[in-house]
Chains A and B, each alone.
Chain A
Amino acid sequence: MNTLVKVEHLSKEYRLGVIGNGSLWKDLQSWSAKIRGKQDPWAPIDGESRYGRRDRFWALKDVNFEVKQGERLGIIGRNGAGKSTLLKILSQITAPTEGTVKMRGHVTSLLEVGTGFHPEFTGRENIYLNGAILGMSRTNIDRNFDDIVAFSEIEPEFIDTPVKRYSSGMYVRLAFAVAAFLSSEILIADEVLAVGDIKFQEKCIGKMKDVSENEGRTVLFVSHNVGAVAQLCQTGILLEHGQIKEYGDVGMVLQAYAASLKG
Protein backbone atom coordinates (compact mmCIF):
# COMPACT_ATOMS: atom_id res chain seq x y z
CA MET A 1 0.00 0.00 0.00
CA ASN A 2 1.05 3.55 -0.79
CA THR A 3 1.95 5.95 1.96
CA LEU A 4 -0.21 9.04 1.53
CA VAL A 5 0.74 11.07 4.58
CA LYS A 6 4.14 11.18 6.20
CA VAL A 7 4.71 13.31 9.28
CA GLU A 8 8.31 13.72 10.45
CA HIS A 9 9.57 15.38 13.65
CA LEU A 10 6.63 17.75 13.66
CA SER A 11 6.68 20.41 16.38
CA LYS A 12 4.69 23.55 16.96
CA GLU A 13 5.55 26.20 19.47
CA TYR A 14 3.26 28.93 20.72
CA ARG A 15 4.22 32.01 22.65
CA LEU A 16 2.16 32.51 25.77
CA GLY A 17 0.66 35.73 27.00
CA VAL A 18 0.05 38.88 25.00
CA ILE A 19 1.49 39.21 21.52
CA GLY A 20 4.19 41.87 21.49
CA ASN A 21 3.98 44.39 24.30
CA GLY A 22 0.31 45.13 23.81
CA SER A 23 0.67 48.28 21.75
CA LEU A 24 2.44 49.47 18.66
CA TRP A 25 4.17 52.27 20.56
CA LYS A 26 5.76 49.88 23.08
CA ASP A 27 6.75 47.51 20.28
CA LEU A 28 8.45 50.40 18.49
CA GLN A 29 10.35 51.30 21.65
CA SER A 30 11.51 47.69 22.06
CA TRP A 31 12.47 47.57 18.42
CA SER A 32 14.42 50.83 18.47
CA ALA A 33 16.23 49.69 21.64
CA LYS A 34 17.22 46.51 19.83
CA ILE A 35 18.51 48.47 16.83
CA ARG A 36 20.58 50.80 19.04
CA GLY A 37 21.90 47.83 20.99
CA LYS A 38 20.31 49.00 24.25
CA GLN A 39 18.32 46.98 26.73
CA ASP A 40 14.67 46.41 25.89
CA PRO A 41 12.71 48.89 28.08
CA TRP A 42 9.74 46.53 28.21
CA ALA A 43 11.53 43.31 29.06
CA PRO A 44 10.38 41.70 32.32
CA ILE A 45 12.70 42.66 35.20
CA ASP A 46 13.05 39.23 36.78
CA GLY A 47 15.92 38.19 34.53
CA GLU A 48 14.08 35.95 32.07
CA SER A 49 13.96 37.65 28.68
CA ARG A 50 10.65 38.26 26.99
CA TYR A 51 11.64 35.67 24.47
CA GLY A 52 12.95 33.30 27.12
CA ARG A 53 11.85 29.71 27.47
CA ARG A 54 9.47 30.46 30.34
CA ASP A 55 6.69 31.87 28.17
CA ARG A 56 7.07 29.38 25.36
CA PHE A 57 4.83 26.40 25.01
CA TRP A 58 5.17 23.37 22.77
CA ALA A 59 1.70 22.36 21.56
CA LEU A 60 3.30 19.53 19.58
CA LYS A 61 6.73 18.01 20.13
CA ASP A 62 8.46 15.62 17.73
CA VAL A 63 5.43 13.87 16.28
CA ASN A 64 6.08 11.13 13.71
CA PHE A 65 3.61 8.90 11.92
CA GLU A 66 2.58 7.59 8.52
CA VAL A 67 -0.79 6.93 7.00
CA LYS A 68 -1.31 4.51 4.16
CA GLN A 69 -3.90 4.63 1.44
CA GLY A 70 -7.36 3.54 2.61
CA GLU A 71 -6.33 3.72 6.25
CA ARG A 72 -8.65 5.32 8.78
CA LEU A 73 -6.65 6.85 11.60
CA GLY A 74 -8.29 8.10 14.78
CA ILE A 75 -6.52 10.78 16.81
CA ILE A 76 -7.59 10.97 20.42
CA GLY A 77 -6.38 12.69 23.53
CA ARG A 78 -7.60 14.93 26.31
CA ASN A 79 -8.29 18.62 25.93
CA GLY A 80 -5.10 20.49 25.13
CA ALA A 81 -3.20 17.39 24.00
CA GLY A 82 -2.46 18.98 20.62
CA LYS A 83 -5.09 17.30 18.44
CA SER A 84 -6.43 20.46 16.89
CA THR A 85 -2.97 21.92 16.39
CA LEU A 86 -1.96 18.77 14.53
CA LEU A 87 -5.00 18.99 12.27
CA LYS A 88 -4.42 22.70 11.66
CA ILE A 89 -0.90 21.98 10.45
CA LEU A 90 -2.06 19.06 8.29
CA SER A 91 -4.74 21.32 6.78
CA GLN A 92 -2.17 24.04 5.99
CA ILE A 93 -3.91 26.58 8.16
CA THR A 94 -0.85 27.31 10.21
CA ALA A 95 2.80 26.45 9.61
CA PRO A 96 4.77 24.15 11.93
CA THR A 97 7.75 25.44 13.92
CA GLU A 98 9.88 22.40 13.07
CA GLY A 99 9.54 19.27 11.00
CA THR A 100 7.75 18.42 7.80
CA VAL A 101 4.50 16.96 6.55
CA LYS A 102 4.39 15.35 3.12
CA MET A 103 1.15 14.39 1.47
CA ARG A 104 0.11 12.78 -1.78
CA GLY A 105 -3.22 13.51 -3.42
CA HIS A 106 -5.85 16.09 -2.78
CA VAL A 107 -6.55 16.92 0.85
CA THR A 108 -9.82 18.19 2.26
CA SER A 109 -10.22 19.23 5.83
CA LEU A 110 -13.44 19.56 7.75
CA LEU A 111 -12.45 21.39 10.89
CA GLU A 112 -15.90 22.87 11.18
CA VAL A 113 -19.12 22.20 9.33
CA GLY A 114 -20.46 24.90 7.07
CA THR A 115 -17.24 26.85 6.71
CA GLY A 116 -17.86 29.70 4.32
CA PHE A 117 -21.64 29.42 4.42
CA HIS A 118 -23.07 32.85 3.82
CA PRO A 119 -26.27 33.40 5.81
CA GLU A 120 -27.91 35.57 3.13
CA PHE A 121 -27.45 32.91 0.44
CA THR A 122 -29.87 30.08 -0.21
CA GLY A 123 -29.18 26.44 0.48
CA ARG A 124 -28.55 25.87 -3.21
CA GLU A 125 -26.06 28.73 -3.50
CA ASN A 126 -24.27 27.62 -0.34
CA ILE A 127 -23.85 24.08 -1.62
CA TYR A 128 -21.89 25.51 -4.54
CA LEU A 129 -19.97 27.98 -2.39
CA ASN A 130 -19.05 25.46 0.29
CA GLY A 131 -18.22 22.82 -2.30
CA ALA A 132 -15.86 25.22 -4.05
CA ILE A 133 -14.19 26.18 -0.77
CA LEU A 134 -13.61 22.49 -0.11
CA GLY A 135 -12.02 22.20 -3.54
CA MET A 136 -14.86 20.63 -5.57
CA SER A 137 -15.27 21.63 -9.18
CA ARG A 138 -18.53 23.06 -10.41
CA THR A 139 -19.27 20.11 -12.67
CA ASN A 140 -18.65 17.73 -9.80
CA ILE A 141 -21.19 19.57 -7.66
CA ASP A 142 -23.69 19.71 -10.54
CA ARG A 143 -23.42 15.95 -10.92
CA ASN A 144 -23.91 15.24 -7.21
CA PHE A 145 -26.37 18.02 -6.42
CA ASP A 146 -29.49 15.88 -6.00
CA ASP A 147 -27.62 13.29 -3.95
CA ILE A 148 -26.30 16.02 -1.66
CA VAL A 149 -29.79 17.36 -1.04
CA ALA A 150 -31.14 13.85 -0.50
CA PHE A 151 -28.34 12.99 1.93
CA SER A 152 -28.97 16.17 3.94
CA GLU A 153 -32.65 15.13 4.38
CA ILE A 154 -33.69 18.73 3.72
CA GLU A 155 -37.08 19.02 2.07
CA PRO A 156 -36.59 20.28 -1.50
CA GLU A 157 -38.88 23.25 -0.90
CA PHE A 158 -36.39 24.69 1.61
CA ILE A 159 -33.41 24.56 -0.71
CA ASP A 160 -34.07 28.00 -2.19
CA THR A 161 -34.47 29.73 1.18
CA PRO A 162 -31.56 31.69 2.70
CA VAL A 163 -29.74 29.47 5.20
CA LYS A 164 -30.12 32.07 7.94
CA ARG A 165 -33.72 30.86 8.19
CA TYR A 166 -32.69 27.22 8.62
CA SER A 167 -32.79 25.44 11.95
CA SER A 168 -29.32 24.66 13.28
CA GLY A 169 -29.86 20.97 12.56
CA MET A 170 -30.74 21.63 8.92
CA TYR A 171 -27.72 23.89 8.59
CA VAL A 172 -25.36 21.23 9.90
CA ARG A 173 -26.90 18.43 7.85
CA LEU A 174 -26.61 20.44 4.66
CA ALA A 175 -23.00 21.31 5.46
CA PHE A 176 -22.00 17.73 6.14
CA ALA A 177 -23.83 16.49 3.07
CA VAL A 178 -21.60 18.68 0.87
CA ALA A 179 -18.51 17.29 2.53
CA ALA A 180 -19.74 13.72 2.18
CA PHE A 181 -19.57 13.95 -1.60
CA LEU A 182 -16.01 15.20 -1.79
CA SER A 183 -13.76 13.19 -4.02
CA SER A 184 -10.44 13.98 -2.36
CA GLU A 185 -7.99 11.20 -1.53
CA ILE A 186 -7.42 12.38 2.04
CA LEU A 187 -10.19 13.55 4.35
CA ILE A 188 -9.32 15.28 7.63
CA ALA A 189 -12.24 15.62 10.04
CA ASP A 190 -12.30 17.24 13.47
CA GLU A 191 -15.25 16.58 15.78
CA VAL A 192 -17.63 17.51 13.01
CA LEU A 193 -20.00 14.84 14.15
CA ALA A 194 -20.54 16.40 17.55
CA VAL A 195 -23.56 18.07 16.00
CA GLY A 196 -26.77 16.71 14.58
CA ASP A 197 -28.85 13.95 16.13
CA ILE A 198 -27.55 10.44 16.79
CA LYS A 199 -29.20 9.00 13.72
CA PHE A 200 -27.52 11.53 11.48
CA GLN A 201 -24.17 11.03 13.23
CA GLU A 202 -24.33 7.31 12.53
CA LYS A 203 -25.21 8.01 8.94
CA CYS A 204 -22.13 10.26 8.61
CA ILE A 205 -19.79 7.69 10.11
CA GLY A 206 -21.30 5.03 7.88
CA LYS A 207 -20.72 7.25 4.84
CA MET A 208 -17.08 7.92 5.76
CA LYS A 209 -16.43 4.22 6.32
CA ASP A 210 -18.15 3.48 3.05
CA VAL A 211 -16.05 5.78 0.88
CA SER A 212 -12.91 4.64 2.61
CA GLU A 213 -13.60 0.94 2.06
CA ASN A 214 -15.02 1.18 -1.44
CA GLU A 215 -12.96 3.95 -2.95
CA GLY A 216 -9.73 3.65 -0.95
CA ARG A 217 -10.05 7.05 0.70
CA THR A 218 -7.83 7.89 3.63
CA VAL A 219 -9.46 9.39 6.70
CA LEU A 220 -7.84 11.21 9.62
CA PHE A 221 -10.47 11.55 12.32
CA VAL A 222 -10.26 13.47 15.58
CA SER A 223 -12.94 12.99 18.18
CA HIS A 224 -13.66 12.74 21.87
CA ASN A 225 -16.32 10.21 21.04
CA VAL A 226 -14.61 6.90 21.79
CA GLY A 227 -17.48 4.95 20.28
CA ALA A 228 -17.24 6.78 16.97
CA VAL A 229 -13.48 6.28 16.78
CA ALA A 230 -13.80 2.58 17.55
CA GLN A 231 -16.49 2.20 14.93
CA LEU A 232 -14.70 4.06 12.15
CA CYS A 233 -10.94 3.69 12.57
CA GLN A 234 -8.49 0.80 12.28
CA THR A 235 -5.46 2.57 13.73
CA GLY A 236 -5.16 5.23 16.36
CA ILE A 237 -2.85 7.77 17.92
CA LEU A 238 -3.08 8.84 21.54
CA LEU A 239 -1.67 12.32 22.06
CA GLU A 240 -0.62 13.59 25.47
CA HIS A 241 1.01 16.99 26.07
CA GLY A 242 1.86 17.29 22.41
CA GLN A 243 3.61 13.93 22.17
CA ILE A 244 2.52 10.55 20.88
CA LYS A 245 1.83 8.33 23.86
CA GLU A 246 0.46 5.34 21.98
CA TYR A 247 0.34 4.53 18.28
CA GLY A 248 -1.04 1.42 16.64
CA ASP A 249 -4.16 -0.70 16.58
CA VAL A 250 -7.24 1.32 17.53
CA GLY A 251 -8.38 -1.09 20.29
CA MET A 252 -5.07 -0.83 22.10
CA VAL A 253 -4.94 2.96 21.76
CA LEU A 254 -8.46 3.34 23.10
CA GLN A 255 -7.57 1.15 26.08
CA ALA A 256 -4.57 3.32 26.81
CA TYR A 257 -6.80 6.37 26.56
CA ALA A 258 -9.30 4.90 29.01
CA ALA A 259 -6.43 4.08 31.38
CA SER A 260 -5.04 7.61 31.13
CA LEU A 261 -8.45 9.06 31.97
CA LYS A 262 -8.60 7.01 35.19
CA GLY A 263 -5.03 7.67 36.24
Chain B
Amino acid sequence: MRKESTDEENWDVVITAKRKWLGLNIRELQQYKDLAKLMIRREFVSVYKQTILGPLWFVFQPLMSTFLYMFVFGNIAQVGTDGIPQALFYFSGTMLWTFFATTLQKCSDTFVNNAGLFGKIYFPRFIMPIAYVANAFFTLLIQFAVLMVFYFYYIARGVTFDVSWWLLLTPVYIAQLGLLGIGFGLMISAWTTKYHDLRNLVSFGLSLLMYATPVVYPISSIPARWKVLFQINPVAPVIEMFRYSLFGMGSCDLKMWGYSLISSLVVFLIGLVTFNRNEQTFVDVI
Protein backbone atom coordinates (compact mmCIF):
# COMPACT_ATOMS: atom_id res chain seq x y z
CA MET B 1 0.00 0.00 0.00
CA ARG B 2 2.67 2.46 1.11
CA LYS B 3 5.10 1.90 -1.74
CA GLU B 4 2.41 2.56 -4.32
CA SER B 5 1.50 5.93 -2.89
CA THR B 6 3.50 8.01 -5.35
CA ASP B 7 1.96 6.07 -8.17
CA GLU B 8 -1.49 6.39 -6.65
CA GLU B 9 -1.61 10.14 -6.75
CA ASN B 10 -1.11 11.11 -10.37
CA TRP B 11 -4.44 10.10 -11.85
CA ASP B 12 -5.60 12.10 -14.86
CA VAL B 13 -9.30 11.60 -14.32
CA VAL B 14 -11.05 11.03 -11.00
CA ILE B 15 -14.79 10.46 -11.05
CA THR B 16 -16.71 10.73 -7.80
CA ALA B 17 -20.23 11.49 -6.66
CA LYS B 18 -19.21 14.95 -5.54
CA ARG B 19 -20.83 17.81 -7.37
CA LYS B 20 -18.68 20.75 -8.23
CA TRP B 21 -19.62 24.35 -7.66
CA LEU B 22 -17.62 26.46 -10.04
CA GLY B 23 -15.61 23.86 -11.92
CA LEU B 24 -15.04 25.74 -15.14
CA ASN B 25 -11.92 23.90 -16.21
CA ILE B 26 -10.11 26.34 -18.51
CA ARG B 27 -7.28 23.90 -19.23
CA GLU B 28 -9.75 21.28 -20.35
CA LEU B 29 -11.62 23.79 -22.51
CA GLN B 30 -8.35 24.65 -24.18
CA GLN B 31 -7.73 20.99 -25.02
CA TYR B 32 -11.04 20.96 -26.82
CA LYS B 33 -10.59 24.21 -28.73
CA ASP B 34 -10.68 22.42 -32.10
CA LEU B 35 -14.06 21.05 -31.14
CA ALA B 36 -15.25 24.48 -30.05
CA LYS B 37 -14.24 25.93 -33.42
CA LEU B 38 -16.03 23.16 -35.29
CA MET B 39 -19.14 23.51 -33.15
CA ILE B 40 -19.24 27.24 -33.85
CA ARG B 41 -18.90 26.50 -37.55
CA ARG B 42 -21.55 23.81 -37.36
CA GLU B 43 -24.00 26.19 -35.70
CA PHE B 44 -23.18 29.00 -38.13
CA VAL B 45 -23.28 27.02 -41.35
CA SER B 46 -26.35 24.93 -40.54
CA VAL B 47 -28.42 28.15 -40.61
CA TYR B 48 -28.08 28.41 -44.34
CA LYS B 49 -27.30 24.90 -45.63
CA GLN B 50 -29.67 24.05 -48.48
CA THR B 51 -31.33 27.50 -48.55
CA ILE B 52 -31.74 29.85 -51.51
CA LEU B 53 -30.78 33.07 -49.77
CA GLY B 54 -27.81 31.45 -48.04
CA PRO B 55 -25.87 33.73 -45.69
CA LEU B 56 -28.27 36.58 -46.58
CA TRP B 57 -30.55 35.07 -43.92
CA PHE B 58 -28.32 36.71 -41.32
CA VAL B 59 -29.46 40.20 -42.39
CA PHE B 60 -32.82 39.41 -43.97
CA GLN B 61 -34.68 38.99 -40.68
CA PRO B 62 -33.56 42.19 -38.92
CA LEU B 63 -34.13 44.17 -42.13
CA MET B 64 -37.69 42.90 -42.40
CA SER B 65 -38.31 43.65 -38.72
CA THR B 66 -36.93 47.15 -39.21
CA PHE B 67 -39.31 47.80 -42.13
CA LEU B 68 -42.19 46.45 -40.10
CA TYR B 69 -41.37 48.62 -37.07
CA MET B 70 -40.94 51.71 -39.29
CA PHE B 71 -44.39 51.07 -40.66
CA VAL B 72 -46.24 50.09 -37.46
CA PHE B 73 -44.51 52.11 -34.75
CA GLY B 74 -43.03 54.92 -36.81
CA ASN B 75 -45.89 55.72 -39.21
CA ILE B 76 -49.09 54.34 -37.69
CA ALA B 77 -48.45 54.71 -33.97
CA GLN B 78 -46.15 57.72 -34.42
CA VAL B 79 -43.75 56.68 -31.65
CA GLY B 80 -40.75 59.01 -31.51
CA THR B 81 -37.14 57.93 -31.92
CA ASP B 82 -35.31 60.72 -30.03
CA GLY B 83 -34.52 62.31 -33.39
CA ILE B 84 -32.54 59.32 -34.65
CA PRO B 85 -33.44 58.31 -38.23
CA GLN B 86 -36.03 55.53 -37.93
CA ALA B 87 -34.14 52.91 -39.94
CA LEU B 88 -31.03 53.31 -37.76
CA PHE B 89 -33.04 53.41 -34.55
CA TYR B 90 -34.99 50.20 -35.17
CA PHE B 91 -32.17 48.30 -36.82
CA SER B 92 -29.69 48.96 -34.02
CA GLY B 93 -32.30 47.99 -31.42
CA THR B 94 -33.37 44.78 -33.16
CA MET B 95 -29.79 43.75 -33.81
CA LEU B 96 -28.74 44.01 -30.16
CA TRP B 97 -31.98 42.50 -28.88
CA THR B 98 -31.68 39.52 -31.23
CA PHE B 99 -28.12 38.92 -30.04
CA PHE B 100 -29.32 38.76 -26.43
CA ALA B 101 -32.50 36.81 -27.14
CA THR B 102 -30.89 34.18 -29.40
CA THR B 103 -28.10 33.58 -26.93
CA LEU B 104 -30.58 33.17 -24.09
CA GLN B 105 -32.89 30.89 -26.01
CA LYS B 106 -30.16 28.66 -27.43
CA CYS B 107 -28.39 28.37 -24.07
CA SER B 108 -31.61 27.53 -22.27
CA ASP B 109 -32.08 24.60 -24.65
CA THR B 110 -28.52 23.31 -24.24
CA PHE B 111 -29.42 20.11 -22.41
CA VAL B 112 -32.68 19.38 -24.21
CA ASN B 113 -31.27 19.90 -27.71
CA ASN B 114 -28.04 18.03 -27.07
CA ALA B 115 -29.45 15.20 -24.97
CA GLY B 116 -28.49 12.67 -27.64
CA LEU B 117 -24.94 13.96 -27.88
CA PHE B 118 -24.39 14.50 -24.15
CA GLY B 119 -25.84 11.09 -23.37
CA LYS B 120 -23.25 9.33 -25.48
CA ILE B 121 -20.01 11.15 -25.14
CA TYR B 122 -18.08 13.31 -22.74
CA PHE B 123 -16.65 16.65 -23.65
CA PRO B 124 -16.81 19.86 -21.61
CA ARG B 125 -20.51 20.70 -21.79
CA PHE B 126 -19.73 24.38 -21.61
CA ILE B 127 -18.53 24.20 -25.24
CA MET B 128 -22.13 24.32 -26.42
CA PRO B 129 -23.06 27.65 -24.74
CA ILE B 130 -19.77 29.04 -26.05
CA ALA B 131 -20.67 27.92 -29.56
CA TYR B 132 -24.13 29.48 -29.24
CA VAL B 133 -22.89 32.85 -28.06
CA ALA B 134 -20.09 32.91 -30.64
CA ASN B 135 -22.57 32.14 -33.36
CA ALA B 136 -24.88 34.93 -32.21
CA PHE B 137 -21.86 37.22 -32.07
CA PHE B 138 -20.83 36.55 -35.67
CA THR B 139 -24.39 37.19 -36.76
CA LEU B 140 -24.25 40.47 -34.85
CA LEU B 141 -20.98 41.42 -36.61
CA ILE B 142 -22.56 40.94 -40.02
CA GLN B 143 -25.56 43.00 -38.96
CA PHE B 144 -23.25 45.64 -37.56
CA ALA B 145 -21.67 45.98 -40.97
CA VAL B 146 -25.12 46.53 -42.47
CA LEU B 147 -25.85 49.13 -39.80
CA MET B 148 -22.66 50.94 -40.80
CA VAL B 149 -23.83 51.01 -44.44
CA PHE B 150 -27.04 52.74 -43.35
CA TYR B 151 -25.09 54.99 -41.01
CA PHE B 152 -22.80 56.34 -43.70
CA TYR B 153 -25.70 56.60 -46.10
CA TYR B 154 -27.37 59.03 -43.69
CA ILE B 155 -24.12 60.92 -43.16
CA ALA B 156 -23.76 61.24 -46.94
CA ARG B 157 -27.26 62.66 -47.03
CA GLY B 158 -26.20 65.40 -44.63
CA VAL B 159 -27.40 64.06 -41.27
CA THR B 160 -24.85 64.80 -38.52
CA PHE B 161 -24.33 62.47 -35.58
CA ASP B 162 -22.71 63.66 -32.40
CA VAL B 163 -20.61 60.52 -31.81
CA SER B 164 -19.57 60.23 -28.17
CA TRP B 165 -16.45 58.78 -26.59
CA TRP B 166 -18.66 56.15 -25.01
CA LEU B 167 -18.61 54.40 -28.39
CA LEU B 168 -15.25 52.96 -27.38
CA LEU B 169 -17.14 50.87 -24.84
CA THR B 170 -19.10 49.01 -27.56
CA PRO B 171 -17.22 45.74 -26.85
CA VAL B 172 -18.30 46.08 -23.22
CA TYR B 173 -21.94 46.57 -24.22
CA ILE B 174 -21.81 43.48 -26.38
CA ALA B 175 -20.04 41.44 -23.70
CA GLN B 176 -22.70 42.55 -21.24
CA LEU B 177 -25.54 41.36 -23.45
CA GLY B 178 -23.67 38.10 -24.06
CA LEU B 179 -23.13 37.48 -20.34
CA LEU B 180 -26.77 38.25 -19.59
CA GLY B 181 -27.94 35.91 -22.36
CA ILE B 182 -25.66 33.06 -21.28
CA GLY B 183 -26.38 33.62 -17.59
CA PHE B 184 -30.17 33.60 -17.86
CA GLY B 185 -30.01 30.85 -20.47
CA LEU B 186 -27.91 28.53 -18.29
CA MET B 187 -30.14 29.12 -15.28
CA ILE B 188 -33.19 28.19 -17.33
CA SER B 189 -31.39 25.23 -18.92
CA ALA B 190 -31.17 23.55 -15.54
CA TRP B 191 -34.93 23.82 -15.09
CA THR B 192 -35.95 22.88 -18.64
CA THR B 193 -34.32 19.46 -18.22
CA LYS B 194 -36.85 18.74 -15.49
CA TYR B 195 -39.85 20.70 -16.68
CA HIS B 196 -40.00 20.67 -20.45
CA ASP B 197 -42.93 23.11 -20.51
CA LEU B 198 -40.60 25.93 -19.48
CA ARG B 199 -39.30 26.01 -23.04
CA ASN B 200 -42.60 27.39 -24.29
CA LEU B 201 -42.51 29.97 -21.55
CA VAL B 202 -39.04 31.10 -22.66
CA SER B 203 -40.01 32.04 -26.20
CA PHE B 204 -43.20 33.69 -24.98
CA GLY B 205 -41.43 35.48 -22.13
CA LEU B 206 -38.75 36.77 -24.49
CA SER B 207 -41.27 38.35 -26.83
CA LEU B 208 -42.93 40.03 -23.84
CA LEU B 209 -39.58 41.20 -22.49
CA MET B 210 -38.76 42.78 -25.83
CA TYR B 211 -41.60 45.25 -25.25
CA ALA B 212 -40.19 46.04 -21.81
CA THR B 213 -36.90 46.93 -23.51
CA PRO B 214 -36.38 50.08 -25.57
CA VAL B 215 -36.18 48.27 -28.91
CA VAL B 216 -39.10 49.88 -30.74
CA TYR B 217 -39.29 53.08 -28.66
CA PRO B 218 -36.84 55.23 -26.68
CA ILE B 219 -36.82 55.31 -22.87
CA SER B 220 -37.62 59.04 -23.02
CA SER B 221 -41.12 58.24 -24.30
CA ILE B 222 -41.93 56.21 -21.17
CA PRO B 223 -44.20 57.83 -18.53
CA ALA B 224 -42.39 58.37 -15.22
CA ARG B 225 -44.45 55.82 -13.30
CA TRP B 226 -43.38 53.01 -15.63
CA LYS B 227 -39.70 53.90 -15.49
CA VAL B 228 -39.12 51.40 -12.68
CA LEU B 229 -39.79 48.58 -15.17
CA PHE B 230 -36.76 49.69 -17.13
CA GLN B 231 -34.66 50.11 -14.07
CA ILE B 232 -34.97 46.41 -13.20
CA ASN B 233 -34.46 45.28 -16.80
CA PRO B 234 -30.66 45.03 -17.26
CA VAL B 235 -30.93 44.87 -21.06
CA ALA B 236 -32.60 48.29 -21.38
CA PRO B 237 -29.68 50.57 -20.44
CA VAL B 238 -27.28 48.70 -22.75
CA ILE B 239 -29.37 49.36 -25.85
CA GLU B 240 -29.90 52.99 -24.83
CA MET B 241 -26.20 53.50 -24.17
CA PHE B 242 -25.24 52.01 -27.52
CA ARG B 243 -27.61 54.31 -29.37
CA TYR B 244 -26.44 57.31 -27.38
CA SER B 245 -22.80 56.47 -28.13
CA LEU B 246 -23.28 56.02 -31.86
CA PHE B 247 -25.85 58.68 -32.63
CA GLY B 248 -25.30 61.19 -29.81
CA MET B 249 -29.06 61.34 -29.25
CA GLY B 250 -31.26 59.77 -26.61
CA SER B 251 -30.49 59.22 -22.94
CA CYS B 252 -27.26 58.34 -21.17
CA ASP B 253 -27.96 57.14 -17.65
CA LEU B 254 -24.66 55.97 -16.15
CA LYS B 255 -26.20 54.82 -12.87
CA MET B 256 -28.55 52.46 -14.68
CA TRP B 257 -25.80 51.26 -16.94
CA GLY B 258 -23.54 50.54 -13.96
CA TYR B 259 -26.31 48.55 -12.33
CA SER B 260 -26.76 46.62 -15.55
CA LEU B 261 -23.03 45.88 -15.74
CA ILE B 262 -22.96 44.46 -12.22
CA SER B 263 -26.11 42.43 -12.72
CA SER B 264 -24.78 40.88 -15.91
CA LEU B 265 -21.74 39.60 -14.02
CA VAL B 266 -23.89 38.29 -11.18
CA VAL B 267 -26.37 36.65 -13.55
CA PHE B 268 -23.51 35.00 -15.44
CA LEU B 269 -21.97 33.57 -12.27
CA ILE B 270 -25.29 32.21 -11.01
CA GLY B 271 -25.91 30.68 -14.43
CA LEU B 272 -22.49 29.05 -14.44
CA VAL B 273 -23.00 27.52 -10.99
CA THR B 274 -26.47 26.21 -11.91
CA PHE B 275 -25.06 24.71 -15.10
CA ASN B 276 -22.18 23.01 -13.30
CA ARG B 277 -24.41 21.58 -10.61
CA ASN B 278 -26.67 20.18 -13.26
CA GLU B 279 -24.38 18.86 -15.98
CA GLN B 280 -23.18 15.75 -14.14
CA THR B 281 -26.54 14.12 -13.59
CA PHE B 282 -28.92 15.70 -16.07
CA VAL B 283 -28.82 12.54 -18.21
CA ASP B 284 -30.75 10.71 -15.48
CA VAL B 285 -33.39 13.42 -15.29
CA ILE B 286 -34.10 14.56 -18.81
Contacts and interface: CB of A to CB of B under 8 A. Distances in A.
B10 interface: yes
Contacts of B46: 118, 120-121
A107 B122 CA distance: 9
B280 interface: yes
Contact of B285 (A19, A89, A138): A19
Contacts of B17: 95-99
User: Would you call the interface of chain B mostly helix, strand, loop, or mixed?
Assistant: loop
Nearest to B49: A120
B14 A91 contact: no
Contacts of A118: 42, 46
Given A103-B12, A105-B12, A137-B34, A93 B285 contact: no
A100 interface: yes
Interface string A214-253: 0000000000000000000000000000000000000000
Interface in B168-216: 194-195, 197-198
A262 interface: no
A261 B119 CA distance: 30
A115 B116 CA distance: 8
Given A103-B11, A120-B50, A128-B38, A91 B194 contact: no
Interface residues of B, number: 36
A143 B111 CA distance: 33
B284 interface: yes
Contact of B122 (A97, A100, A109, A162): A109
B117 A115 contact: yes
A101 interface: yes
Nearest to A24: B195
Contacts of B38: 128-129, 132
Contact of B121 (A6, A102, A134): A134
Contact of A121 (B32, B42, B285): B42
Interface of A: 6, 14, 19-20, 23-24, 88-107, 109, 111-112, 115-116, 118, 120-121, 128-129, 132-138, 162
Given A88-B283, A93-B120, A133-B121, 7 more contacts: A20-B194, A92-B13, A93-B121, A101-B14, A109-B122, A115-B117, A162-B49
15 contacts: A14-B284, A24-B195, A92-B13, A94-B283, A95-B17, A100-B15, A101-B15, A102-B13, A102-B15, A103-B13, A103-B14, A115-B120, A115-B121, A120-B46, A162-B49
